Structure 1
Amino acid sequence: MAQPPHVTTEPGRDDRFRVLVVCTGNICRSPAAELLMRSILVGRLGGREASRVEVSSAGVAAVVGAPMHPLSRAQLAPWGLDSRAESFRGRQLDDSVVRGVDLVLGANVRHRSRVLERYPHLLDRTFALREFARLATAADTMDLPPDLVKRGHGLVELVRSMRGTVPPADDSLPDPMGGPEQAHRDAVRLIFKAVQGIVEQLAPRAAVRR
């Protein structure tokens, strides 16, 4: 039987759910989302189980090799992630980055569009970050499987089926680049809320285990 399009056939990688977050430069919003999602998952599941979700990020016009913007990095301090973010370096969205990805989250709708311009085959798994969080929060996830990776695939399918069925909302995530510290604080606050909502559905408090 043919594999569904969201299931990777790469050898040795069948037991992972891969999330890619995309913004413009990959130095503010998408690295914040990457680090926050990974941290929340580890806090909820422990490192071993959380490692089954691979979270990464890239930019459609990345400042390749650049560190995370210091003002955005500083906003991660409440979670103890500011020091961890020091090793982050920006990377460009390309074929190697999207290979095997199960869920793509653009900072805004235009990032979702830019991804799909290059990779139209990812239509079934590409959303704006706050859009996906909003739909996932509204979804009835009672029938999703308990296994973390299978639940991830099921959640993407469920959210995709809800497109156009939930009243529209403001899913924007303003770019803090060039703005004051408050702009970076506001962006990270929105990112944290969205990522937290996604993790609530991906890994409910009743621990997800194989």
Structure 2
Amino acid sequence: MSRPPQVPAQAVPDDRFRVLVVCTGNICRSPAAELLMRSLLVGRLGGREAGRVEVGSAGVAAVVGSGMHPLSRAQLAPWGLDVRAEEFRARRLDDAVVAEVDLVLGADVRHRSAVLQCYPHLLDRTFALREFARLVAAADTTALSPDLVKRGQGLVDLARATRGTGPPADDAVPDPVRGPAAAHRDAVRRIFAAVHGIVDELAPRTVGAGAQ
């Protein structure tokens, strides 16, 4: 009795949009952005849909395994994230971390350059955090798909097409690591504003079944 012909397995579409935030030590700015972005997405979409966006962070000179800086961690208390941040551990930027990433956000413009020095093939998807927030806020997003993953990919395309076309802007998030609590507060304030703007474009309240 002959066997039925084998049908080639179909490739499973990638149903994730992967975001990586990079700073120097991965103990202040990038973990704050990671935790805030994930929290805002869950609040906007619910855990299941928000899980389609994988948010991580790394440092170009991280002390692997270090906890988040206590002064930066304290600034996350208004969102109830300071307790969750106690579990955070720093990791270094490497080949495994950048594998399959869809969007890389440097905490500062210097981190954007550092990422591209090691991984020039990521030029089409690497921005400074505040730069990306600024570019997508100014872009015409009306034609983007309501699907969360496709919309994220579309935002990257729009940002890539428009960067460098406007006047110079201050996209810095100064490193607070050796500063007082006020420096950490200022960094988290800038990060929250940028991340909130990105989430508003990635998961607008009028788009998607999970929007609130």
The bucket for the TM-score relative to the shorter chain is: over 0.9
Q: Which amino acid aligns with 1:201?
A: E
The residue that corresponds to 1:118 in the other structure is 118
Q: Indicate conservation of the 8 Å contact 1:147/1:209, yes or no.
A: no
Please report how far the alpha carbon of residue 12 of structure 1 lies from its aligned counterpart in structure 2 after TM superposition: 5.6
Distance in structure 1 (CA, Å) of the matches to 2:132 and 2:185: 21
Which is greater in Rg? Answer: 2
Per the normalisation by structure 1, the TM-score is 0.93
Q: What per-residue deviation string (whole Å, max 9, x for no partner) do you get for residues 129-170 of structure 1? A: 000001111111001000000000000001100012222210
The residue that corresponds to 1:109 in the other structure is 109
Distance in structure 1 (CA, Å) of the matches to 2:167 and 2:37: 26
Q: Cα distance 1:13–1:22, how it changes in 2: closer, same or farther (>3 A)?
A: farther
- State which drifts further: 162-171 or 129-138: 162-171
Distance in structure 1 (CA, Å) of the matches to 2:106 and 2:13: 24
Q: Cα distance 1:209–1:122, how it changes in 2: closer, same or farther (>3 A)?
A: farther
Task: Structure 1: state its 5+ residue gaps.
Answer: 1-10
The residue that corresponds to 1:40 in the other structure is 40
Q: Cα distance 1:13–1:90, how it changes in 2: closer, same or farther (>3 A)?
A: farther
Q: Which amino acid aligns with 1:166?
A: G
SS at match of 1:87: coil
Distance in structure 2 (CA, Å) of the matches to 1:208 and 1:168: 34
Q: Indicate conservation of the 8 Å contact 1:144/1:154, yes or no.
A: yes
Task: Structure 2: state its 5+ residue gaps.
Answer: 1-10
Distance in structure 1 (CA, Å) of the matches to 2:22 and 2:120: 15
Q: Indicate conservation of the 8 Å contact 1:135/1:166, yes or no.
A: no
The residue that corresponds to 2:94 in the other structure is 94
Please report how far the alpha carbon of residue 206 of structure 1 lies from its aligned counterpart in structure 2 after TM superposition: 1.1
SS at match of 1:26: coil
SS at match of 1:21: strand
Q: Which amino acid aligns with 2:156?
A: V
The residue that corresponds to 2:154 in the other structure is 154
Q: Indicate conservation of the 8 Å contact 1:148/1:209, yes or no.
A: no
Distance in structure 1 (CA, Å) of the matches to 2:155 and 2:149: 10
SS at match of 1:83: helix
Q: Which amino acid aligns with 1:50?
A: A
SS at match of 2:150: helix
Distance in structure 2 (CA, Å) of the matches to 1:141 and 1:104: 20
Q: What per-residue deviation string (whole Å, max 9, x for no partner) do you get for residues 79-108 of structure 1? A: 000000000000000000000000000011
The residue that corresponds to 1:183 in the other structure is 183
SS at match of 2:48: helix
The residue that corresponds to 1:15 in the other structure is 15
Distance in structure 1 (CA, Å) of the matches to 2:184 and 2:191: 10
Q: Which amino acid aligns with 1:118?
A: C
Distance in structure 2 (CA, Å) of the matches to 1:208 and 1:167: 33
Per the normalisation by structure 2, the TM-score is 0.92
Paired residues, number: 200
The residue that corresponds to 2:63 in the other structure is 63
The residue that corresponds to 1:204 in the other structure is 204
Distance in structure 2 (CA, Å) of the matches to 1:88 and 1:193: 22
